[in-house]
Amino acid sequence: MNTASESAQVTEATERNMKNMRRIYEEGFDQGRLDVLDEIFAPDIVNHTAPEEHRTGIEPVRGLIRMLRTAFPDARVEIEDMVATGDVVVMRNWYRGTHHGPFMGHEASGRSFRFRQIHWMRFDAEGKVIEHWGVRDDVAHLRQLGLIG
């Protein structure tokens, strides 16, 4: 059985993890502040959604943010829901922006997009992300950009 102080510690850790997850998307992805990644990600973060060669470490995340900000400099994450339990935080959001730069070998189309994403992150005791899983509606994204029919 948890004591009152153990429950308070869990609540504080959960709140910290939710705040850190929000910072990843608002400061990292939306603002391009790559320094925030060193604060919030463990050096050996595992991104289960990424291709094998980009799955481990902070540098592939930096590369992803750079690529997305080049292609979609006005892109923003619209957080709809965020829930947490234990060391896990799950966020449901929209990702929206405009295609202003090269993306997947295609020049800028000027087209806007908005599609759903779900992100699931596991945090260590210090509040650093150690694992990530993501589900994105890539088909909707590519259709809105006119890259697939």
Domain count, the chain: 1
pLDDT along the chain (149 residues), means of 10: 50 94 98 97 97 97 98 98 96 98 96 98 97 97 96
| Distance from chain centroid for Cα 135 | 10
Find the CATH number of the domain harbouring 137.
3.10.450.50
**Taking the model in full, what pTM does it have?**
0.90
Inter-residue contact 97 to 141 (CB < 8 Å)? no
Range of the domain at 14: 4-144
Residue with tokens 């470490």: 57
Which contacts qualify for 56-61: CB closer than 8 Å, 24 or more apart? Answer: 61/28, 61/37
- Centre a 10 Å sphere on the Cβ of residue 65 and count the other Cβ atoms it contains: 20
DSSP state of 78: E
| Inside any domain, residue 86 | yes
Residue 108 is assigned to a structural domain of this protein: yes
Q: What is the largest CA-CA distance in the chain?
A: 58
In a domain, 69, yes or no: yes
Predicted local confidence at residue 131, as pLDDT? 98
Residue 149 resides in a domain: no
Helix (H) or strand (E) holding 96: strand 88-98
